[in-house]
Structure 1
Amino acid sequence: MSTYQVLFLDIDGTILKPDHTYDPSTKEAIGQVQKKGLEVFLATGRPLHEIRDLAMELNVHSFIGYNGALALYKEEAAVNEPMKKETVLQFLEIARKNDHEMVLYTSEKNYFTSIDTPVVQHFIEMFQLKQNELFTEEVADQILGATLINLTAEDQKLYHFDPTYHLSQVNVEALLHCYDVIRDRVNKGGAIHKVLEVLKIPKENAIAFGDGMNDKEMLQAVGEGFAMGNAHPDLYQYAKHKTTSVTESGIANGLKILHLIEE
């Protein structure tokens, strides 16, 4: 029986390659660690309603979504932290004034400030989003996470109105103009802390793999944090290990370092 008990895996750039497929070695690695008793979580900025098909393919039943705002252990909620309505409305107002777009995620839908602009259509296509609607203020108190679209690096400072929030650039080459809205106290790392408490698992027995700056708190929240070979350069300082890229069996190679799967 392994001393490791839980594995947290980011999706985009960690499980999924740029063409939205995953390496067969990834599915095989997940199956091998599950046989050794590890619980596997998908830990993503994505809304959970958009990853159910992938989870079914990988036989994973526990999740951290919306960059940590909702965590489910075998469908039971361990974390459920919507954003404050007034904060959501303030983000929307700044975006509107500066010709930026937003997508805001509830537990059921992706709400866009517009649907038919080219940058939004490209975003929807890149993440293969299906449950899309136009935002209305009626759902402003149900928002679990958000992404800003069509920003320059300079534009980030426009959104520094609340010191408990920061922006994290999406680590996808074609979407570097997109930034996830991250809360200092509600992020993947914070969700992992709560999940480990619920499962009574010490930090040292937890493993995580990620590639984006929205993964930095996650890699710090576990004993064995792996940054992918294709990770944002600033992420490596937060990781205990560096593995190969998502296109070079990065998850499988990292788990080999821990002797959890066969060479």
Structure 2
Amino acid sequence: MQYKIVFLDIDGTIVPHGKAISNATKDAIEKLKNKNIHVVLATGRAPYFSETVIQESGAESMVFFNGSFVSHNGELIYQSPIEKKVLEKLHYLTNHHKHPLTYLGPTAFKATDLTHPFVLEAFMRDPWKPELAPASYWMEEDIYQVFLHCDVNEESFYQSEVPELDFRRWSSVGARTCDVNLSSSTKAVGITKLLEKLGIAPDEAVAFGDGLNDIEMLSLVGMGVAMGSARDEVKQAANMVTLSAEEDGVRKGLEKLLLI
């Protein structure tokens, strides 16, 4: 198969957790671009959490917010904000159960409680910090993703009460924050929109990922590659398993596929 495009998750894939993108990975991306293979970042991150990686990777196409916001060459080609009636239901329930939320809009993110320990924990290793969300913030702004800050397994209540949304915990080892996205919006949805724009078939695409939010993406493309650190569910959705991000697994995988 002549692959024409490569989708790269960020955290745990091209960026080892808590570290920067390696020179080996940067070089691999540059070699892909020199062969006229499109390089796309496909992430759960917001655009404003990704600026450094975008600059260092040189990617010109991005899939943000787990598929609900897609840009190509600086042009927004797809967006799918969460409906206000769904946000209203989530706002009511979390307010009643005293679980804070962080709302992510297209250019800013704001939390309902800046002093809650789960919110402080969520951003303690990041250079970016949320501002306090005005009471009407979620009503006035387009919201593409939400962080629900709650203890492990408490998200199951919200999943049953708000089936329009999908709740995925950041990790299985005690993280007290969940990504909240439309159930109908995944990385695969955003990727499909970009592939249609570029006239590329899913079978002509490669994707690398390590998280539960990468399963649909890895299943969609012709060659899904799971990182060595990925959970078993992610590896089972992939066609191939490479090394971890710390071991430059993206570069090793591209070499194995003879793409670089």
- TM interval, shorter chain, is over 0.9
C-alpha distance 165-139 of structure 1, shift in aligned 2 (>3 A): closer
Could you tell which deviates more after superposition, 195-204 or 10-19? Answer: 10-19
Aligned to 2:48: 49
Aligned to 1:183: 182
SS of residue paired to 1:215: helix
Task: Report if the CA contact (8 A) 1:171-1:211 is conserved.
Answer: no
SS of residue paired to 1:12: coil
Could you tell which deviates more after superposition, 134-143 or 8-17? Answer: 134-143
Aligned to 2:92: 93
Aligned amino acid, residue 156 of structure 2: Q
SS of residue paired to 1:142: coil
Percent of aligned positions with the same letter in both sequences? 29
Aligned to 1:214: 213
Aligned to 1:156: 156
After superposition, the C-alpha distances for 1:12-39 in whole angstroms (9 at most, x for unaligned) are 1112212231222111111111111111
Aligned to 2:223: 224
In structure 1, the gaps of 5 or more residues are: none
Aligned amino acid, residue 103 of structure 1: T
Distance in 2 (CA, whole Å) between partners of 1:224 and 1:48 is 26
Task: Report if the CA contact (8 A) 1:226-1:243 is conserved.
Answer: yes
After superposition, the C-alpha distances for 1:159-181 in whole angstroms (9 at most, x for unaligned) are 322434221121385x6222111
Distance in 2 (CA, whole Å) between partners of 1:229 and 1:98 is 38
Task: Report if the CA contact (8 A) 1:14-1:211 is conserved.
Answer: yes
After superposition, the C-alpha distances for 1:172-201 in whole angstroms (9 at most, x for unaligned) are 85x622211132321110111111111000
C-alpha distance 133-172 of structure 1, shift in aligned 2 (>3 A): farther
In structure 2, the gaps of 5 or more residues are: none
Aligned to 1:144: 144
C-alpha distance 246-39 of structure 1, shift in aligned 2 (>3 A): same
* 1:74-113 equivalence runs, <5 A: 74-113=73-112
* 1:1-263 equivalence runs, <5 A: 3-130=2-129, 132-140=131-139, 141-171=141-171, 173=173, 176-261=175-260
C-alpha distance 11-171 of structure 1, shift in aligned 2 (>3 A): farther
Aligned amino acid, residue 151 of structure 2: L
Paired residue total? 259
Distance in 2 (CA, whole Å) between partners of 1:82 and 1:248 is 36
Distance in 2 (CA, whole Å) between partners of 1:135 and 1:238 is 41
Distance in 2 (CA, whole Å) between partners of 1:135 and 1:26 is 40
Aligned amino acid, residue 157 of structure 1: F
After superposition, the C-alpha distances for 1:48-105 in whole angstroms (9 at most, x for unaligned) are 1221122112211211101111000111122111100111121122222223222111
